[in-house]
Chains A and B, each alone.
Chain A
Amino acid sequence: MSAGTNGAAMNGEGRLERRFARLRAEGRAGLVTFVTAGDPDPATAAKILAGLPDAGADVIELGMPFSDPMADGPAVQAASLRALKAGQTLKKTLAMVKAFRRGDADTPVVLMGYYNPIYIYGVPRFLDDAKKAGVDGLIVVDLPPEHDDELCLPTMKAGLNFIRLATPTTDDRRLPTVLRNTSGFIYYVSILGITGTRSAASDAVAKAVARLKRHTDLPVAVGFGIKTPKQAAEVARVADAAVVGSMLVQTVARNLSRQGRARPGLAAAVLKRVTALARGVRGARKAT
């Protein structure tokens, strides 16, 4: 049995499965956008979130801020710290998803972050509240398969997707371990390094996606280092989705006042970027 039939799909189709099925039917790749919850303040962040589907985001990754995001680069770390400074908590992040769901029943929302805030919130209570809020899946960077009993297995049991990262260091021997309890999609980190730094050569990405496809039926989303609509299109030609994060939070950073407050038009500026990226992704397989 391949890994793709595991997980939340067994409890009936979730939003992620439906979304990727639709993308397949449309013959195109998806755009996965990452923004940090509460960055730069709760109201602006909510406005960005609400606007993402219309701007062309097919799947939303919402960052749960953490004080020590070890696997992220300066841009995402700064976004995390801005959000925390503005009073963001895990509870508020869940409330933000709940509010988003009142206006959008279809776009999958995946929470992405680190384990400690969830551990402190309490895993059963967190899963309960996340499900009620309309969260579809989790990406928790510092929980490798070796610690599946902490959160991954309870998440699957709760009927949510647990999405794992595969990297260039995940060799063929280790891949089955990584894929075993993964559902929804697999997130391929195309470079060795932290978010938002360098980007991978597109033929390397194509090879990596092909390697993953030999091991799983799950959709493959590729991210880390995608900054332009052209790069997003290149990834969209070979993968099931392109993930863009750091450049969106950098757009947030560039639209702050000297005191660090949101300038008018911040949300629109971020959404404009998303629109451009979505155009790149949607046109990818038509262009020659």
Chain B
Amino acid sequence: MTLNTYRAGPDERGQFGIHGGRFVAETLMPLILEVERAYKQAKNDPAFHAEMAEYHKHYVGRPSPLYFAGRMTEHLGGAKVYFKREELNHTGAHKINNTMGQILLARRMGKTRIIAETGAGQHGVAAATVCALFNLPCVVYMGETDIARQQPNVFRMKLLGAEVRPVTAGSGTLKDAMNEALRDWVANVEDTYYIIGTAAGPHPYPEMVRDFQSIIGAEVRTQLQEAEGRLPDTLVACIGGGSNAIGLFHPFLDERGVAMVGVEAAGHGLKSGKHAASISGGRPGVLHGNRTYLLQDADGQIKEAHSISAGLDYPGIGPEHSWLHDVGRVEYVSATDREALEAFQLCSKLEGIIPALEPAHALVEVTRRAPKLPKDHLLVVNLCGRGDKDIFTVADAVGVKL
């Protein structure tokens, strides 16, 4: 099937094909509808966009550079590799694009308390940051497994004035943190706004988070036009929930000449059963307010995901990605923990940029693909976070004691 446009979704029910929707308890439904109404208004209000642009420029530090990775390109010997430097944003990742948008929305809605879930801690830090900026109390739910492996970010959130609540249920990772945040929201609907960190969850979150992250792709378009005078040939991004990837891809979806690749975390390998690759190793199901590809057993019980990267350690994926997979517009591949560790070290040595483990997965695909492509092929990879937070995990994985 060929569509006129890949950018029209979601439909009025909040669905992208069969994916997405609003599978939430009745307690939350009026809230979700309120967020949808408020977001629709904000989206059409130039004042909202003007306020966001001010904060982007003077607080976040946008636009983030589009950097020609010369040594990486030379090393791989094929396509010209560009890095979209989202790791240079304030707080060190793309996550703040979304939290800035959502906190401005929460303020418009008159909400006085913010909650968030976090995996790697990047979203938690980004949420805690904007809460400090606007003087709102912030509670961040974080799985205890993630707390153990992301201590620097836990401390960062506390410095920013947020309360980090450990989640012990389940595997103590992102999915459990999201369950707990939803429970908090159900109990505190009147004053609380839930800043979801990725382009997933009940409608309108997948659409809203995508819109806030689409500044990534929009900037790439302008910047590459200036640098090369044309559109990119290939876009590559890592995928947990998939917000950095949809932000890069979405503005280009209708450009037929632009190939797009999403890289899921294959953990110990797809066959090991210990991975976080929902599209490669899962099937459609309903969790956390949306239908999407999920890691689950034959009885529909959700399986625990595994990845060395806490930010990719989630058994689902944003519903728009599931749809883009179904219609064949975006190709989804995976990279293992081991491959990501190699790319992490390669990028650090070649470019002087220590990437987060999340985009290290995207870099794996770049190292696979670039050598086979002609030298005039323009490949853009989203460097969606910096790796300072991961140095302890990496040291441990490569057997170095810090």
Contacts of B223 in A (CB 8 A): none
Is A130 in contact with chain B by the CB < 8 A criterion? no
Is B5 in contact with chain A by the CB < 8 A criterion? no
Query: Which of A66, A89, A117, A178 interacts with B26 by CB under 8 Å?
Result: A178
B189 to chain A, nearest CB (A): 6
Is A104 in contact with chain B by the CB < 8 A criterion? no
Question: How far is it, in angstroms, between the C-alpha of A147 and the C-alpha of B29 when the chains are bound?
Answer: 12
Query: Which of A74, A89, A116 interacts with B302 by CB under 8 Å?
Result: A116
Contacts of A77 in B (CB 8 A): 169
Please determine whether A67 and B301 come into contact, CB atoms closer than 8 angstroms.
yes
Please determine whether A141 and B296 come into contact, CB atoms closer than 8 angstroms.
no
A184 to chain B, nearest CB (A): 16
Chain A residue nearest to B31 (CB atoms) is A169
Is A194 in contact with chain B by the CB < 8 A criterion? yes
Please determine whether B183 and A117 come into contact, CB atoms closer than 8 angstroms.
no
Please determine whether A119 and B26 come into contact, CB atoms closer than 8 angstroms.
no
Query: Which of A68, A146, A192 interacts with B188 by CB under 8 Å?
Result: A192
For chain B, give the interface size range: 20 to 34
Is A84 in contact with chain B by the CB < 8 A criterion? yes
Please determine whether B286 and A144 come into contact, CB atoms closer than 8 angstroms.
no
Query: Which of B31, B287, B298 interacts with A68 by CB under 8 Å?
Result: B287
Contacts of B302 in A (CB 8 A): 67-68, 116
Chain B residue nearest to A146 (CB atoms) is B22
Chain A residue nearest to B188 (CB atoms) is A192
B335 to chain A, nearest CB (A): 26
Query: Which of A91, A116, A143, A174 interacts with B30 by CB under 8 Å?
Result: A174
Please determine whether A170 and B30 come into contact, CB atoms closer than 8 angstroms.
yes
B314 to chain A, nearest CB (A): 12
Query: Which of A70, A146, A189 interacts with B29 by CB under 8 Å?
Result: A146
Query: Which of B22, B24, B187, B286 interacts with A116 by CB under 8 Å?
Result: B286
Question: How far is it, in angstroms, between the C-alpha of A161 and the C-alpha of B164 when the chains are bound?
Answer: 42
Is A199 in contact with chain B by the CB < 8 A criterion? no
Question: How far is it, in angstroms, between the C-alpha of A166 and the C-alpha of B302 when the chains are bound?
Answer: 27
Is B268 in contact with chain A by the CB < 8 A criterion? no
Please determine whether A116 and B296 come into contact, CB atoms closer than 8 angstroms.
yes
Please determine whether A67 and B170 come into contact, CB atoms closer than 8 angstroms.
yes
Is A28 in contact with chain B by the CB < 8 A criterion? no
Question: How far is it, in angstroms, between the C-alpha of A178 and the C-alpha of B298 when the chains are bound?
Answer: 31
Please determine whether B300 and A119 come into contact, CB atoms closer than 8 angstroms.
yes
Is B112 in contact with chain A by the CB < 8 A criterion? no
Is B299 in contact with chain A by the CB < 8 A criterion? yes
Chain B residue nearest to A149 (CB atoms) is B13
Is B175 in contact with chain A by the CB < 8 A criterion? yes
For chain A, give the interface size range: 35 or more
Please determine whether A189 and B170 come into contact, CB atoms closer than 8 angstroms.
no
With most chain A CB atoms within 10 A of its CB, the pick from B24, B188, B288, B300 is B300
Please determine whether B27 and A120 come into contact, CB atoms closer than 8 angstroms.
no
Question: How far is it, in angstroms, between the C-alpha of A174 and the C-alpha of B302 when the chains are bound?
Answer: 32
Give a binary string over B183-201; 1 marks a CB under 8 Å from any A CB, 0 the rest.
1001111100000000000
With most chain B CB atoms within 10 A of its CB, the pick from A91, A114, A118, A120 is A120
Please determine whether A192 and B189 come into contact, CB atoms closer than 8 angstroms.
yes
Is B151 in contact with chain A by the CB < 8 A criterion? no
Question: How far is it, in angstroms, between the C-alpha of A143 and the C-alpha of B29 when the chains are bound?
Answer: 10
Please determine whether A70 and B179 come into contact, CB atoms closer than 8 angstroms.
yes
Is B269 in contact with chain A by the CB < 8 A criterion? no
Please determine whether B301 and A142 come into contact, CB atoms closer than 8 angstroms.
no
B187 to chain A, nearest CB (A): 4
Chain A residue nearest to B32 (CB atoms) is A144
Please determine whether A71 and B288 come into contact, CB atoms closer than 8 angstroms.
no
Query: Which of B25, B294, B301 interacts with A66 by CB under 8 Å?
Result: B301
Contacts of B22 in A (CB 8 A): 144, 146-147
Please determine whether A192 and B285 come into contact, CB atoms closer than 8 angstroms.
no
Please determine whether A120 and B288 come into contact, CB atoms closer than 8 angstroms.
no
Q: List 20 A-B contacts (CB under 8 A).
A: A65-B301, A68-B288, A70-B182, A71-B183, A71-B186, A77-B169, A89-B299, A116-B285, A116-B287, A119-B285, A142-B24, A143-B23, A144-B29, A146-B22, A165-B26, A170-B29, A192-B27, A192-B188, A193-B183, A194-B183
* Closest 6 A/B residue pairs (Cβ): A120-B300, A117-B300, A193-B187, A71-B25, A67-B301, A167-B27
